[in-house]
Amino acid sequence: MKTYNNPAKNTWAEITKRPAKEANTLGATVKAVFDDIKENGDVALKQYTQKFDGVTLSDLKVSQQEIDQAIPLVSQELKDAIVLAKNNVEKFHTSQKIEKKVISTTNGVDCWQEMKPIEKVGLYIPGGSAPLFSTILMLGVPAKIAGASKIVLCTPPSKDGTINPAILFAAQLVGVTEIYKLGGIQAIAAMTYGTESVPNVYKIFGPGNQFVTAAKQYTLTQGLAIDMPAGPSEVMVVADKNADASFVVADLLSQAEHGADSQVILVTESQQLIDDVQVELKKQLDELPRKEIALGAIENSSAILLENIADQNELINEYAPEHLILNVVDESVYIDEIVNAGSVFIGPLTPESAGDYASGTNHTLPTNGYARMYSGVNLDAFTKKITYQKITKEGIQNIGPAIELMAAAEGLDAHKNAVTLRLKSLK
């Protein structure tokens, strides 16, 4: 882990630069796969599943029988943990509902908005070495609360053509309506266009590797929405001199183990803490099953000594971390100043892992600096808001003349006439 001692502000961007993305040939690959699936449907999906996942499938859809056979394979302890997490996620996201509120902007003019569900949503859940069944809770629960009528889940199959049992348990628990054995670019393309087996959706959610991310970006050009631009996971830990180095290292490694392209950054006032972290890092790395992956991420990472709190806050906002951990005694000097962060974890007993699994907040968050302008996934992400207005005789008489004047000034006579005719009818 590289260390920097009170670096000049004009060096911050370089010090915290995210790992470079492979991009050159990605766009052409994504387009070719999308075009093939648009033209050839299920045939193309099965060919790409064979090519990229090494699995030959007769049916893409997971049957109810497969679900029923898989669920007993999940331990009761894990089921209980998933249910606990689901309940907390449900409580938090239910609180985000907005009730209808009618506003009388003028006597006789009532306006309001109502939250309506996005009817068909697609969830992409990574499989492989880290099957992210927790992401099903983060996406499926708010989709269900919002009222989505179709929740389609795609996840890559294992080599024997099965889906991780915990994924199937979580999917059934939250009310996913259909599950497909599809990963990578082909899964995103299938949900974009629809095929003989897979229905198209209106918005696609979920994390993934660079291929999935590029595919989601391409769907935007095909008339679909996505949750947000996303990239490799990242965390910034701000720790004071009182912080426990073992806690700090555990938090850094919890993100580093996601992938070699992840990034973790420590910001602290204490050189002693940096020294302690470097020692502790070696200890915890040696005990980590995903050590090699984490080591790759550590190479992209930094420990930054900044003695001035104002400078720390400025760096936080410039970097705009996906996850921000404030392992400090006094968080009040940070909270009001932070404007760019995906999710904030306050105090020494609040690990980022809590938000990943069971505290109730959503772990689908903006990365790569997008926290400057994007929120993490919440109930709003699964809804759209329709505005309404109702105008009475008194109302049109109150605002009609202003509408006529404004429409005439813009040269839109038909707009003016729509009001004029009504006003004349009331005389």
Question: Is 323 labelled a binding residue?
Answer: yes
Q: How confident is the model at residue 282 (pLDDT cuts 50, 70, 90)?
A: very high
Question: Is 209 labelled a binding residue?
Answer: yes
SS (H, E, C) 10-29: HHHHHHCCCCCCCCCCHHHH
Kindly calculate the radius of gyration of the chain based on its CA atoms and give it in whole angstroms: 25
The predicted structure's pLDDT at residue 129: 67
Instruction: Show the tokens assigned to 426.
Output: 């009331």
The catalytically annotated residue of 322, 331, 337, 363 is 322
What are the pLDDT digits (tens) for 387-410?
Answer: 999 999 999 999 999 999 999 999
The predicted structure's pLDDT at residue 57: 95
Question: CA nearest 214: which of 182, 185, 194, 183?
Answer: 185
Question: Is 5 labelled a binding residue?
Answer: no
The predicted structure's pLDDT at residue 24: 59
* Catalytic residue status for 196: no
What are the pLDDT digits (tens) for 319-339?
Answer: 999 999 999 999 999 999 999
The predicted structure's pLDDT at residue 19: 81
The catalytically annotated residue of 93, 269, 280, 323 is 323
Q: How confident is the model at residue 22 (pLDDT cuts 50, 70, 90)?
A: low
Question: Is 415 labelled a binding residue?
Answer: yes
The H-assigned helical ranges of 234-270 are 245-256
The predicted structure's pLDDT at residue 149: 97
Question: Is 93 labelled a binding residue?
Answer: no
Question: Is 255 labelled a binding residue?
Answer: yes
* Catalytic residue status for 323: yes
What are the pLDDT digits (tens) for 161-177?
Answer: 999 999 999 999 999 99
**Residues 225, 204: Cα–Cα separation, whole Å:** 6
Task: Report all structural domains of the chain as residue ranges with CATH numbers, in order of start.
Answer: 2-21+231-353 (3.40.50.1980), 26-110+117-226 (3.40.50.1980), 392-425 (1.20.5.1300)
Residues of the chain above pLDDT 70, percent: 98
Strand partners, 387: 113
